[in-house]
Each structure stands twice: as C-alpha cells, then as structure tokens.
Structure 1
Amino acid sequence: MFLWMIALLIRITNMQSGGGVTNATAITSSVMPKHEFSVDMTCEGCSNAVTQVLNELGGVQFDIDLPNKKVCINSEHSVDTLLETLGKTGKAVSYPGSK
C-alpha cells in the first residue's frame, strides 16, 4: 500500500508540473477520467503538434495512436477544454466518448 501511495504521489506531482506522459498506468487510470478523441493526423508532424498543445495545457497524460488517428487522454480537464486544445492543431477533432 505504501509503495502504491508513493507512485500515485509521483504521478500527481508530474502532472502538476505540466509533463505530458505517454503510456499511462492503471494507477492513473483509476484516478482520472480517460477520454478518447479522433484526430485527423496523417504524419509524425501532426502527432508532434498534438503533443505540443497537450503539454502546453498541462495536467494531462496521453497516448497517441497515429495509424488509427486516436488520442487517449487521462485528465480532469473538461471534454470541451480538451476539444478546444486539440483543435489548436488545425486538425479535425471529434469525441466519440469516454473509455
């Protein structure tokens, strides 16, 4: 239990510092809602743009699946905030729902 609490504290500290982290763990998934977005990404430049805007927003952990044009985000931010942030990439974005 003690190690789990330390791992959670490290994750929260990292999120508060604005670090975008890929491959979120089950610990984070149980704490924050997970949302899946479709983003019209066609290349690595597109995924880099997504990474940049999400890192600027802060308080998020995310996985980018470029071949399937999906972005899974763990965050306490509202869906509207996440949609607006992803929209800053200039790519078409849709939100099918929570995961």
Structure 2
Amino acid sequence: MASQKHEFKVTMTCEGCSGAVTRVLKRLEGVETIDIDMAKQTVHVQSTLPSDKLLETIKKTGKECSYVGVV
C-alpha cells in the first residue's frame, strides 16, 4: 500500500498527551512521520497503514479522537 498522510483530531491538553500519542504511533511498523499541532489539536501521520489501524492505536492513549481524512 502506498504511503498516505492522515489527519486526526485528538484532544490533547499537555506535552504528556502529545508524547503518549507519539509513543504509541512510533511502535507501529509502517509509520513514517508524526506531526502534532497542540494548538489545533491535530495529528498528521504519514504511513502505509490503514486509517482505522492508526485511529485504533491513538485511542489506546485514552484520548478522545476522530479521523478527519487524507491530506
């Protein structure tokens, strides 16, 4: 599968929140880059993995999140 950049809305209130999201995503094989914007509460993930797998992984942090789409 070709690499795509996915956007997610994630409720993050501190650096610990964004750190948790980064940690769980880095464990996945196929994740190339992770860009977090705390002000906009968005996470961009460049990956060959399907969006549902990425969303499921982000949800493991306990943060409220939703899939926005491919950017």
- Please indicate, yes or no, whether the TM-score normalized by the shorter chain is above 0.5: yes
Task: Select the structure with the greater relative contact order (CA < 8 A; seq sep ≥ 6).
Answer: 2
Q: CA RMSD in A?
A: 1.0
Identical aligned residues as a percent:
54
From the two aligned structures, give the one with the greater helix fraction.
1
Indicate which of 9, 17, 28 corresponds to 1:38: 9
Q: Distance in 1 between matches of 2:19 and 2:34?
A: 12
1:53 and 2:24 correspond: yes
From the two aligned structures, give the one with the greater strand fraction.
2
Indicate which of 32, 35, 38 corresponds to 1:63: 35
Please list every run of 5 or more consecutive structure 1 residues that lacks an aligned counterpart in the other structure. Answer: 1-30
The AA in structure 2 aligned to 1:37 is F
Give the TM-score of the pair, scaled to structure 2.
0.90
The AA in structure 2 aligned to 1:32 is S
Larger radius of gyration: 1
Give the TM-score of the pair, scaled to structure 1.
0.66
4+ residue runs of structure 1 moved beyond 4 angstroms? none
Please list every run of 5 or more consecutive structure 2 residues that lacks an aligned counterpart in the other structure. Answer: none
Task: Name the count of aligned residue pairs.
Answer: 69
**How many Å apart are 1:56 and its aligned residue?**
1.1
**Corresponding position of 1:98:** 70
